[in-house]
Chains A and B, each alone.
Chain A
Amino acid sequence: MHPAYSVIVFTTASGAGLGLIALLSAGAALGLIPPDRTLGIAGFGVGFALFTGGLLSSTLHLGRPERAWRAFSEWRSSWLSREGVAAVVTYVPAGIAALGWVMLGRSDGIFAVAGVLAALAAAVTVYCTGQIYASLPTIRQWQQPLTTPVYLILALATGALLATALLAVLGHPWSLAARVAFLALAVGLLMKMLYWRAIDTSRPRYTIEAATGLGALGKVRPLDPPHTQPNFVMREMGFEIARKHAERLRGFVVLTLFALPMALLAIAGAAPSPIPPMAIVLAAGSAAVGVLVERWLFFAEAEHVSMLYYGKAAA
């Protein structure tokens, strides 16, 4: 599948922003994070900026961005529509929690309820994003049990890294957030490894013979192409990445998204005073690069059934 850059930016930025918003609002609701004004402005500022920026970015891949509002109507049947609705709904409790925190310095009572609801709505939004991909039987690498869990855990991990970085830079206790980030990264790494193993070992479901229905006559091979230049279907669905490049990029993802941030978090936990904030910011930066590559690879490794008609032996 062709990696749409606006969609990669959207899912990664919004995922991290929603993870951050969820952790801040739920953490404050549970009394784990003090509703400090500077922290609130910085935390919700970064969270909403990433979330909103991602949403706006996602409209860039639309042929008709000015009609994006229409996407809220079909939540009964469409995961994409549900994602849009959930994203907008998230603003309400998250906005209330942020206002209580920043304007009133409060995260109790109604603001605590809003905080918990914001965390839930954020999780639902990311879940819908994952389901857009996981619900497509046309793409074996996407219709996997781990697709949506990976989206959720990576949103949590990147959001937790951001939260840890903000807490550390602004001089608040950050060790609990760091532990959440470390744990989320560890679980994320495990899930991603299992995901890669699943797509490597799961057998292709369809062949060119099945696609054309001509298998009874023998092996099917393309003879004359239907057009001389790639059409939309080939450009969109036919994007492929060489196996060896995929291997290398997987290694890069393991290093930058998981191993390096986890090592830096461990260093931050043990190092003396000026080092921890720097190490944590570095960890967040590394994970940001890593998650972009991870998402790019998620598209590049996905093979679409329609390519069977263009001569792919199996998909």
Chain B
Amino acid sequence: MTSLPQRTDRKLGLVIDLDICVGCHGCATSCKEWNTGGYSAPLSDQDPYGADPHGAWLNRIHAYEVGEGAASRTVHFPRSCLHCETPACVTVCPTGASYKRAEDGIVLVNPDTCIGCKLCSWACPYGAREYDYAHGVMKKCTLCVDRIYNTNIPERDRVPACVKACPTGARAFGDLGDPQSEVSRSVAVRGGYNLLEAFGYQPVNKYLPPRERRDATTAARSASPPTMPTSDGTSIERFFAWVDRTLSAKET
């Protein structure tokens, strides 16, 4: 059934902090590793050792240069399914293989009923869906639905593989439908935003914008030049100051 649920009990999703992502691709490789053996298995590759290797990945890490000259900066930009509240990829699906879960809002593809028509990938403005050429069905981020409820793994590991892997803590997972959740609070504090809001698909995932620069360019404007520390007046300090002066005088 590709008609959307009226509402979802929860809005599980990711909050991605563009300020601290270092573009290591750890989340992408961790995602690939987990999901090629999980719900979306397999995530096949084509020509993996040849001249044109490519394959289905559910998470892609771009790097952009933003701004001009000395004020320009590098922004690493992970891109995956945003688990939209009203996703067109679901409603265009002719078979009902694409669906949005009423209980937690996760958008999934049923690999047993997908016919591989690719129309959902045409409907997604975010380029989040990738067709599996070997499996013949569409693949997408599952929000690690097979981890987050998995009672066979320790509770601290019940987060998406990308979140678990991120070495800088640039990815957070939680219920964005609950204004009191940690992810919702960080979105409120940092001004988290939606990608391509004009489409009206209401992405659940949010991006936290890079903070104001804190490097030499901005620091020089505010702070006065640092001064050398002077003697704090204790007798031991005065003794060493005398030694220093005496030795310096002898050298000249």
Best-surrounded residue of B88, B93, B133 (most CB of chain A within 10 A): B93
Total A-B pairs, Cβ < 8 A: 198
> Contacts A78-B2, A214-B209, A232-B121 given: A226-B79 contact, CB under 8 Å?
yes
Instruction: Report the minimum CB–CB distance from A191 to chain B (whole Å).
Output: 23
Task: Give the contacts of A195-236 with B (CB-CB under 8 A).
Answer: 205-206, 208, 210-214, 216-233, 235-236
Neighbouring A residues of B67 by C-beta, 8 Å: 217-219
Task: Give the contacts of B73-106 with A (CB-CB under 8 A).
Answer: 73-75, 77, 79, 88, 90-97
Residues of B in contact (CB 8 Å), total 69
Instruction: Report the minimum CB–CB distance from B17 to chain A (whole Å).
Output: 13
- Return the contact of A218 from the options B68, B121, B130 (Cβ within 8 A): B68
> Contacts A80-B119, A220-B66, A231-B130 given: A226-B61 contact, CB under 8 Å?
yes
- Return the contact of A214 from the options B56, B64, B93, B126 (Cβ within 8 A): B64
Instruction: Report the minimum CB–CB distance from A81 to chain B (whole Å).
Output: 4
A236 & B95 in contact (Cβ 8 Å cutoff): no
Closest to A217 in B: B66
Interface residues on A, range: 35 or more
Cβ contacts A46-86/B at 8 Å (1 or 0 each): 00000000000000011111011011111011111100100
- Return the contact of B96 from the options A65, A74, A232 (Cβ within 8 A): A74
Q: Report if B65 contacts A (CB, 8 A).
A: yes
A80 to B123, CA, bound (A): 12
Q: Report if B188 contacts A (CB, 8 A).
A: no
A221 to B199, CA, bound (A): 23
Q: Report if B23 contacts A (CB, 8 A).
A: yes
Neighbouring B residues of A76 by C-beta, 8 Å: 2-3
Neighbouring A residues of B123 by C-beta, 8 Å: 136, 138
B133 & A77 in contact (Cβ 8 Å cutoff): no
A63 & B127 in contact (Cβ 8 Å cutoff): no
Neighbouring A residues of B75 by C-beta, 8 Å: 212, 214, 217
> Contacts A1-B122, A62-B117 given: A229-B52 contact, CB under 8 Å?
yes
Closest to A142 in B: B122
Q: Report if B173 contacts A (CB, 8 A).
A: no
Cβ contacts B140-159/A at 8 Å (1 or 0 each): 00000000000000000000
Neighbouring A residues of B185 by C-beta, 8 Å: none
Q: Report if B195 contacts A (CB, 8 A).
A: yes
Instruction: Report the minimum CB–CB distance from A16 to chain B (whole Å).
Output: 22
A213 & B113 in contact (Cβ 8 Å cutoff): no
Closest to A85 in B: B94
A20 to B116, CA, bound (A): 30
B130 & A233 in contact (Cβ 8 Å cutoff): yes
Instruction: Report the minimum CB–CB distance from A273 to chain B (whole Å).
Output: 49
Q: Report if A139 contacts B (CB, 8 A).
A: yes
Residues of B within 8 A of A (CB): 1-3, 18, 23, 28, 52-57, 60-68, 71-75, 77, 79, 88, 90-97, 113-119, 121-127, 129-133, 135-138, 193-196, 198-199, 207, 209-210
14 A-B pairs in the complex with CB atoms less than 8 angstroms apart: A63-B116, A63-B133, A64-B115, A64-B137, A73-B95, A80-B117, A80-B119, A212-B75, A217-B73, A217-B209, A222-B64, A223-B65, A229-B53, A309-B79
Other 16 A-B pairs with CB < 8 A, given A62-B115, A79-B92, A233-B129: A62-B136, A67-B115, A80-B92, A80-B119, A137-B88, A138-B122, A205-B198, A213-B194, A218-B67, A219-B66, A219-B67, A229-B52, A232-B56, A233-B121, A236-B131, A306-B126
